[in-house]
Amino acid sequence: MLFRAVALSLALMIGIGTIIPLATEYAEAGPKHTKRYKKKPRKYKKYSKGWWRQYHARMKRKKALAARKRALRLQQLRLAELQKSGDAKDKAAVKPVGEPPTSAMLPSGQSAPKGWKASKLSSGEIQFQIDGSGGGAVGSASISVVGPATGESVLTGKNQALAGVPTTSLRREVINRMVRENGWVVNDYQKMVGGRAVYVVVAQSQATGGRVNSRMFYFTEADGRIYSVATTSAAESAEKLAEESEKVIVSLPSRPRPVQQASLKQ
């Protein structure tokens, strides 16, 4: 009887010693030995059909990612513009009723065309907000000094220049600006406005709501400096703004540049 009890005790101890490690191994607190294997892309011989499939799929993913980034950037710009317009409305709402509007002045000292309101004044640049006959804003304009005049205007032949500055440099300046503002250059040409040689660059840019804005850049020489008159408006208002811009160009200060004469030795 005693031998039987000892045998049962030994068997019970051996069973418990075997069950405890197994239970610990598969318990929630036990170590995990499962491995996750990442599927490696299959390698193809360069320029084979499989390689080209992988290449096109990779390019498609890159284009989709770039399109999502552009859409996000456009949405951010629209939100910023809406917030800016909302701030402008709030400022207009708190403006005293009896306060007279400030008259916009051109660099010549003359009054700006009707509907042109000075919106910002900085060193070398005057910005205007242009209102239509109904009172709503139809566009904007800016007058700035590009640089000093260094020579005569040559608007014929291959080496065309405005007051000594090559027209290719002026066009490149507009192209760089359009790249920054999500726009593109359409055309450029030369014309005479009120006896002045004027170089014109026609461009367009993307506006809110899918519209396309008309962008006009006029370059001319006045008072020994090259001025730029740039306008932004909807397509239906572009012709009217072009007429008013030419009036602004004619009003720019005109003073003959001194002619240097060589002294004669006696």
* Domain boundaries 116-251, corresponding CATH code: 3.40.1000.10
3-state secondary structure of 205: strand
Contact yes or no for 173/143 (Cβ under 8 A): no
In tens, the pLDDT along 86-144 reads: 666 556 554 444 444 455 677 766 777 777 887 776 666 788 888 877 667 778 888 88
- Nearest to residue 124, comparing CAs of 142, 101, 150, 103? 142
Record the pTM.
0.56
In tens, the pLDDT along 2-17 reads: 777 777 777 777 777 6
In tens, the pLDDT along 186-240 reads: 999 999 988 889 999 999 998 877 788 999 999 999 888 899 999 998 888 888 8
**CA 140 – CA 126 distance, rounded (Å):** 11
So where are the chain's domains? 43-95, 116-251
For 265, the token pair is 């030795």
The pLDDT > 70 percentage for the chain reads 76
Token match 């072009």: residue?
Answer: 242
Q: Is the pLDDT of residue 263 over 50?
A: no
